[in-house]
Structure 1
Amino acid sequence: MKLRQLMLSLCAAAGLGLALQAPAMAQANYKPEYKMSLVLGPAFPWGKGGEIWADLVKERTDGRINIKLYPGTSLVGGDQTREFTALRQGVIDLAVGSTINWSPQVKELNLFALPFLMPDYPAIDALTQGEVGKDLFAQLSKRGVVPLAWGENGFREVSNSKHPIKTPADLKGLKLRVVGSPLFLDTMTALGANPVQMSWADAQPAMASGAVDGQENPVSVFAAAKLENVDQKHLTAWGYVADPLIFVVAENIWNTWTPEDQAIVRQAALDAAQQQIAIARKGMTGDDQSQWKDLEAKGVQIHHLSDAERQQFVDATRGVYDKWKKQIGEDLVGKAESAIAAGQ
């Protein structure tokens, strides 16, 4: 009798244990592969950040979460401005996305594209690593994605095939490729340029054929894409906007993972983002100016704006700044301005 009672107790305990585990087991019904969207592949700092993240996640989850990279925004036919919508619709599982590309759907992200808001790298950090960054993550969290970490595409410098750009007058009439952002169109128009909206996939052939005269992008993108080979011989370092990146997971995917794996993916994103920022800034600041020197060795003429020259561009775009400050949110922009000023 005692043996029978013992066996019944053990069976009951085992049944209770299985019942307690059932929700976790059901929750952990993982897909064999998760799709990560990227505009640029691992040859660029942007794509390298995605690759590092995917590798860390696979290693730290013992292969439970296997992520495949889809560069060139191939999951949305190369239209990078559709990436955020596709995340919300379940087409994309994870992304390392651009604040510029997502700004049409999340107006607050236009903050980083305000002309000449951020004078240097500490200013970027003051925003992304401070209260402003937290506020923006809160906005993203309301829109069906889980933001995990800030990365960086870098300050966007302007290049062209015609002549050096030292004053706003030098931009007059130049056909410049820009991303599909109304703020970028407003900024370039205010400077007298002729902005031409197109995807990055179309940009290089357009420069090679002369359909456009120039473009604006971080130096790391210029170098990796070898834009000197498509007649981009004149590069001006003006740092008019910066493009932070955001490591995110679609909320519908995030909710299928166990809390333990969520924690692993989050920490992997933070670690990958830290490495990615270091890669993006390498050779750009301080004693290490190697990225600039490498381009000069390839025949690219580089002009760094003086403070007085930069102020001319600031003045020429002030109307755009004031217009978009209202659209982005004066409180958010004011908080950003204060954070930058506190770090100067």
Structure 2
Amino acid sequence: MNMSRRWLFAAAGALAMSVTAGAALAQSYKAEYKLSTVVGKPFPWGNAGERWGDLVRERTQGRINIKMYPGTSLVGGDQTKEFTALRQGTIDMAIGSTINWSPQIKELNLFSMPFLMPDHKAIDALTQGPVGKKIFELLAARDVEPLAWGENGFREVSNSKRAIRTPDDMKGLKLRVVGSPLFNDTFSALGANPTQMSWADAQPALSTGAVDGQENPLTIFTVAKLHTVGQKYVTLWGYVADPLIFVVNKTVWASWTPADQKIVREAAEQAAKENVVAARKGIVAGDDSVLKEIEGLGVTITRLSDAEFKAFQAATKPVYEKWSKQIGPDLVKTAEESIAKR
């Protein structure tokens, strides 16, 4: 056999192997990857999910097609079951709340410690520092691949009854909270009556007066038009924040090529950065447009003085100390040190 014929046979063999490998790759990829979020568009959280999917679809030329399922609809709306379903493979990907996943990962309760994070720089100090790295290590050991930190924002309290300026003002108020024991402890310590329910059930409950109020980031307040369901009073107290985490099921992650993994990770990082900007828009120094919008709806916004803020801290100190032990004193100490250095 002459050299030219050998070269042709070799080239044909290489082409056949390439086609076979390409077919195998195409077969191993799903036609659709299910992405779970608690809320959809036009909330910043939902926008982030759509943005992530769009970036991945574009950069992989459609090899990875992501469809967002808002309302945690893949788990019947039960937000606290999302992480378990993600581990089991019922959900392929998620942009999850540290609050909703805390029942399965106790360390995530750190972000719900009352009055731990005084400002956005404190959030960044945690998510972008040693605490964030530790959390990602914990997640990676639980069948998921963590990719990026997003943000749902500081959670402010609203209600239909009265302005809240002191812990005494909260006594007797029926307030919707997420399904976390730490939230129950915090609001019970303040004299309120916390009621756990999903966000899907919260708005009807507010409308009928089954609950008096709720706590959520202000972007939720404006987009969901909570002023139309009796929420006349908002107190800015920033008692906890809710970072979001972009993750992929470990088995799904392993099914992609290293090149596609890199694309998905970089797309998550970009979508997350855009999400953080959107979550903070209108509520930071120099841009209080969201606050003005809410006040323009006839809602009373209460801003706490330093002394008033410290009164809430004092009232919830026993809760802070109790949960520090449960979360892990070393992690809490690292968080406090990171915030102090910000």
- TM bin, normalised by shorter chain, reads over 0.9
SS in 2 for 1:140: helix
**Percent identity of the aligned residues?**
65
Superposed CA offset, 1:280-330 (max 9, x none): 100001111000000000011000111100100100111110111111111
SS in 2 for 1:229: helix
Partner of 1:227: 226
Partner of 2:31: 32
CA distance in 1, matches of 2:32, 2:81: 22
SS in 1 for 2:239: coil
Partner of 2:324: 325
**Deviation (angstroms), 1:89:** 0.9
Partner of 1:151: 150
CA distance in 1, matches of 2:23, 2:107: 38
CA distance in 1, matches of 2:114, 2:15: 59
Q: Specify every segment of 5 or more residues in structure 1 that has no aligned partner in the other structure, as ranges.
A: none
**Deviation (angstroms), 1:10:** 4.5
**Deviation (angstroms), 1:130:** 1.0
C-alpha contact (below 8 Å) 1:190/1:317 kept by paired residues: yes
Q: Aligned-pair RMSD on alpha carbons?
A: 1.5
Superposed CA offset, 1:154-201 (max 9, x none): 000000000000011111111000000010011111111100000000
C-alpha contact (below 8 Å) 1:161/1:233 kept by paired residues: yes
CA distance in 2, matches of 1:261, 1:205: 42
**Deviation (angstroms), 1:150:** 0.3
CA distance in 2, matches of 1:320, 1:186: 6
Check if 1:47 corresponds to 2:49: no
Aligned counterpart in structure 2 of residue 7 of structure 1, from 5, 29, 51: 5
Q: Specify every segment of 5 or more residues in structure 2 that has no aligned partner in the other structure, as ranges.
A: none
CA distance in 2, matches of 1:14, 1:253: 32
CA distance in 2, matches of 1:22, 1:216: 54
Partner of 2:69: 70
Superposition map of 1:47-196 within 5 A: 47-196=46-195
**Deviation (angstroms), 1:21:** 8.1
**Deviation (angstroms), 1:42:** 1.3
SS in 1 for 2:68: strand
Partner of 2:259: 260
Superposed CA offset, 1:240-286 (max 9, x none): 00000001111111111110000000000000001011111000011
TM-score (norm 1): 0.96
Check if 1:210 corresponds to 2:209: yes
CA distance in 1, matches of 2:273, 2:56: 15
Tell me which amino acid in the other structure corresponds to 1:183: L
TM-score (norm 2): 0.96
CA distance in 2, matches of 1:39, 1:317: 28
C-alpha contact (below 8 Å) 1:24/1:258 kept by paired residues: no
Segment drifting more, 74-83 vs 27-36:
27-36
SS in 2 for 1:331: helix
Partner of 2:247: 248
SS in 1 for 2:319: helix
**Deviation (angstroms), 1:13:** 6.0
Superposed CA offset, 1:98-151 (max 9, x none): 000000001110000000000000000000011110110000000011110000
CA distance in 2, matches of 1:267, 1:172: 47
CA distance in 2, matches of 1:262, 1:158: 39
Partner of 1:292: 291
SS in 2 for 1:192: coil
CA distance in 1, matches of 2:56, 2:9: 37
SS in 2 for 1:241: strand
CA distance in 2, matches of 1:272, 1:101: 21
**Deviation (angstroms), 1:14:** 4.8
> Structure 1 pair 323/24, CA: closer, same or farther in 2 (3 Å)?
farther
Superposed CA offset, 1:191-234 (max 9, x none): 11100000000001001101000000000001110000000000
SS in 1 for 2:287: coil
SS in 1 for 2:278: helix
CA distance in 2, matches of 1:291, 1:201: 23
**Deviation (angstroms), 1:96:** 0.7
CA distance in 2, matches of 1:16, 1:105: 48
**Deviation (angstroms), 1:15:** 3.6
SS in 1 for 2:264: helix
Segment drifting more, 21-30 vs 152-161:
21-30
